[in-house]
Structure 1
């Protein structure tokens, strides 16, 4: 039900309606958009601070430019809520019954005003440069704009894009949305450079963008609607590369988001009255608390450990740690390639890097996982979070980590089934000095299930609970699903410990004593754990059934639906096994 029927936004069906508004009307529209962003995020969670800070720039863009002919490429696109409201999708904020109508990132399947499905940082300038080159070759004249911000300038691809954009012969506008934040506070030399520009009102001689060849413009208040309209009018149709630097306030209009930017970058559902999360805080041990306790104990015992992350301290609950152990903490900014190479260099000099990555972002560092870490066989320790089948947008799926890590030489990828096992694996990984070791951070697993906990993973020896006819191998968090299947049919249950190191002796015995072997993994099937098992057992007289997610991009698809589509429910697996027998 739309409780905001009097909102001006109800009359906005597209940019043509924005162009008819007066400045006071657009300012009222900005207030309405902020109200709706806060209300929807409070109800179901989402990106908050980035969207609140970009409202005026978005309205001004659609007022001045002629979308979709003129094209704006959003970096990350987690700040596109206002854009979506102004391009025919306002009902997804005005009416709670339609909250699920749109995805949280730009999506060309959803609207002609979105040009890419984008959810990771630093890509906008490179994409826009390619578009500009195609436009010129085809004899077109539209404006091509890349909007980059929220720390995306720390990513290597941003520099690569800027390097090429600066020498474009015709129109290309790069808008740097400078709100001084990524997810956490911005870090590095880029921060220093941007601060000099802000402090001098864009007049400092130390201007890296001018040095690269850009026509540089500065807007001191990017949340001033009139200033943004004037700035966009001044750069529209200009026939050379321009960099427009705008200073904005992340979280503008919602005081808690201004005071605590990191906590309000992305929020879970919260109470509008007091800004408190609706879900109660978990007081029990978690995979994060277990990992951090191990790291702290090892540092206190004298180990030269560096905890490293790429601008995602919240994913690993690192805020307390980074204050307690500042000398043992490095945030490299939104730069996963840098994080892996940095960790590799740290290991080369004898330190112990504990690299903390999110599965969906780790793909950006694949070259370093292979070329720098694996090829040099250096003992980097890496914790990988979020490597599960999920209802995330297709840009944020975490189902590719096993394929990326497990198929590279020298990497050992461990997959704990309990928190106790996670602790043992991390302690071993920190002490061993032979190979890079990754640990799949478990989600929703018990603290213990009274298995014998192994303390040395130099050799992988599967843990086997004997049963009959069928053997179920459950990797990591899917061990619990395997346990349910095994209990249902009286099968053998196997904890394989690793996503890529096979216990061939155990597999030979399983093949000799069982008719069917089932593999379960919380990741993509192709190139994954189950296929390694099936390949090894290819010449054995045993049937192998692999279960995981098929090689498709799901997009905001409920997990229960994904399980159903991939035969991952208990009932489906049991039925398949019984049929195969």
Structure 2
């Protein structure tokens, strides 16, 4: 595989770099050699850790040029999304820690304020950099932190309305601000839309048409070669010397630049597992079952084959959501609207009002960005938009910025909304069918990242009765009511508790709204302990259950009630297993909660023994 590498020197140049100040005393030839070493080092690290490789390789020269010309961290460098920040981290004192990248206790895969003074603004979602940068610039003007502000934003991120809102405001304010447009014609997938077309045309005819940015109040410079390190340094030095207001430098780059395997890949190695540098072969574990994303896509294709009104929409995440699979079957009914969740939601609302059946497939963490549109344009009008919410719960190495923690709470409080969660991949198939058949208002279903549980899949989905859960295993003393994909952990906890002579009923709620009140009341009335489990934040499913029980006057001590949710804090990146361990949502945490609660109650009451039909000895809680 081709690899741009540095000539061998007695002492690697990177070993001499303790921070950006060391770059500023290097001559151009030395910086160019350092770029080769930095590229090789980035590839070597990500080959062992996995992560966002292509985006980082595309900004090697930009990163070096910015840190050489600007006085970071006094000057603020803000990376949009920041998945391209690995070279930046290597150069800013974190090189020795990079083999722990995206692991528990290691550097984040994104910029993070608490990690380094060279990360003045944290990110992981798109299109925030210019807004934040303008905030820093105005703070400087008003007596706050001094220094220049440099924002690096990708062409894909320019498809989001927030970027244009910031450009509009920055142009009007006229304050000194540097925006570098990192134009590689890709975000995760190839960039789409009229903006992408405009930028491509602008790059093809340098100097001919810069009217848009200049009309918005920016001084435009470019396009320039984003891999010509000397040219970048010259451009940035000139702009820094002469700028009086907002400036946009248009740099043309290649995602995955310098590594053949990345440049040849369809997604330019956007996100990779560990891989062999020589061959580019990624070391992915053999899946025991298809991923939830593929199950969703396959189920939606089957429903769309029966109903020509079914539409699939995503916001720059075709491959991540499975809409790319749908597109192969129904190209005229698949829409990637760019990084524009707000538009995606209202676009879907318009389609629904026009008689279509839109499925809006967006990660939970990104759907947050379209919440006003969900409220105003969908829920208020009662429009039957179907929300397929991927990446529900904790997601591992991408950390808290990508965790799907809040969607149950922010959707279930909306009048007329139906809110579901799949406990396994078979249930997901049925929920796709349920959503397809549901025309009574907006409906959502959430499902986790990663592979399914391996349960047999139905040949076709069957619409579920709205607002009805199911008993999975019958017991007696303890009722575990799971909402979502922690059901498997509940079943494992049931087996653990059986060893202590504690019979357990396990139920799958399926719906947070409308809540299956008959199931909830039956479990509450017939058990000694009633526990709800969900992979979401406080204020979600448990709050709905407690609200119902309190409203009915049932919380009178007859049955102990406990809730297990994500804790009221953001959980740093780690493996999914480690994150759920920290969250206290694994089987042994469920079993321990049950044992401790029953022990605190003095064992089983006569009432519980009547339901059990046998005596269960007092439980001893382990130290």
**Bucket of the pairwise TM-score, normalised by the shorter protein:** over 0.9
Partner residue in 1 for 2:384: 379
- Residue 208 (structure 1) aligned to one of 198, 209, 212: 212
Deviation at 1:243, TM superposition (A): 1.2
Partner residue in 1 for 2:539: 527
Partner residue in 2 for 1:308: 313
- Residue 358 (structure 2) aligned to one of 333, 348, 353: 353
Partner residue in 2 for 1:226: 230
- Residue 38 (structure 2) aligned to one of 24, 28, 33: 33
- Residue 429 (structure 2) aligned to one of 423, 435, 443: 423
Q: Counterparts of 1:514 and 1:109 in 2: how far apart (Å)?
A: 46
Q: Counterparts of 1:534 and 1:305 in 2: how far apart (Å)?
A: 36
- Residue 519 (structure 2) aligned to one of 506, 509, 513: 506
Deviation at 1:311, TM superposition (A): 1.1
Deviation at 1:143, TM superposition (A): 1.2
| Residues 169 and 202 of structure 1: CA distance in aligned 2, closer, same or farther (over 3 Å) | same
Contact 2:323 2:334 in 1 (8 A): no
Q: Counterparts of 1:134 and 1:96 in 2: how far apart (Å)?
A: 32
Q: Does 1:552 align with 2:569?
A: yes
Partner residue in 2 for 1:410: 416
Partner residue in 1 for 2:116: 111
Contact 1:221 1:247 in 2 (8 A): yes
Deviation at 1:150, TM superposition (A): 4.7
Deviation at 1:318, TM superposition (A): 3.9
CA deviation profile, 1:312-360 (whole Å, cap 9, x unmatched): 1222344344234211211111111111111111111011111111112
Q: Does 1:279 align with 2:288?
A: no
Q: Counterparts of 1:545 and 1:528 in 2: how far apart (Å)?
A: 14
What SS class does the counterpart of residue 35 from structure 1 fall into? helix
Partner residue in 2 for 1:394: 400
CA deviation profile, 1:455-482 (whole Å, cap 9, x unmatched): 4445322212431121110122111111
Q: Counterparts of 2:567 and 2:278 in 1: how far apart (Å)?
A: 43
Contact 2:311 2:356 in 1 (8 A): yes
Select between 139-148 and 39-48 the one with higher mean Cα deviation: 139-148
Deviation at 1:26, TM superposition (A): 0.8
| Residues 377 and 458 of structure 1: CA distance in aligned 2, closer, same or farther (over 3 Å) | farther
| Residues 250 and 566 of structure 1: CA distance in aligned 2, closer, same or farther (over 3 Å) | closer
Deviation at 1:95, TM superposition (A): 9.3
- Residue 61 (structure 1) aligned to one of 37, 44, 66: 66
Contact 2:430 2:464 in 1 (8 A): no
| Residues 372 and 38 of structure 1: CA distance in aligned 2, closer, same or farther (over 3 Å) | same
Deviation at 1:113, TM superposition (A): 0.9
Aligned ranges for residues 144-223 of structure 1 at < 5 Å?
A: 144-204=149-209, 207-223=211-227
Q: Counterparts of 1:162 and 1:96 in 2: how far apart (Å)?
A: 33
What SS class does the counterpart of residue 479 from structure 2 fall into? strand
Q: Does 1:446 align with 2:453?
A: yes
Q: Counterparts of 2:209 and 2:583 in 1: how far apart (Å)?
A: 58
Q: Counterparts of 1:116 and 1:338 in 2: how far apart (Å)?
A: 26
Q: Does 1:252 align with 2:265?
A: no
Select between 408-417 and 278-287 the one with higher mean Cα deviation: 278-287
- Residue 70 (structure 1) aligned to one of 70, 75, 84: 75
Q: What number of residue pairs does the alignment pair up?
A: 576
| Residues 323 and 506 of structure 1: CA distance in aligned 2, closer, same or farther (over 3 Å) | closer
- Residue 462 (structure 1) aligned to one of 469, 483, 491: 469
Contact 1:75 1:123 in 2 (8 A): yes
What SS class does the counterpart of residue 116 from structure 1 fall into? coil
Partner residue in 1 for 2:440: 434
Partner residue in 1 for 2:614: none
Deviation at 1:126, TM superposition (A): 0.5
Partner residue in 2 for 1:471: 479
Q: Counterparts of 1:42 and 1:143 in 2: how far apart (Å)?
A: 35
Q: Normalising by structure 1, what TM-score?
A: 0.93
| Residues 371 and 5 of structure 1: CA distance in aligned 2, closer, same or farther (over 3 Å) | farther
What SS class does the counterpart of residue 208 from structure 2 fall into? coil
Q: Counterparts of 1:564 and 1:95 in 2: how far apart (Å)?
A: 19
Q: Counterparts of 1:301 and 1:542 in 2: how far apart (Å)?
A: 47
Aligned ranges for residues 125-144 of structure 1 at < 5 Å?
A: 125-138=130-143, 142-144=147-149
Q: Counterparts of 1:366 and 1:135 in 2: how far apart (Å)?
A: 32
- Residue 516 (structure 1) aligned to one of 529, 533, 536: 529
Q: Counterparts of 2:356 and 2:54 in 1: how far apart (Å)?
A: 36
CA deviation profile, 1:347-377 (whole Å, cap 9, x unmatched): 1101111111111211111111211111111
| Residues 579 and 294 of structure 1: CA distance in aligned 2, closer, same or farther (over 3 Å) | closer
CA deviation profile, 1:3-47 (whole Å, cap 9, x unmatched): 999421111111110001111111111111111211222212110
Gaps of 5+ in 1: none
Select between 68-77 and 456-465 the one with higher mean Cα deviation: 456-465
Output the aligned Cα RMSD: 2.5
What SS class does the counterpart of residue 414 from structure 1 fall into? strand
Q: Counterparts of 1:141 and 1:70 in 2: how far apart (Å)?
A: 7
Q: Does 1:574 align with 2:582?
A: no
Partner residue in 1 for 2:605: none
Q: Counterparts of 1:305 and 1:347 in 2: how far apart (Å)?
A: 10
Gaps of 5+ in 2: 1-7, 599-623
Deviation at 1:135, TM superposition (A): 0.8
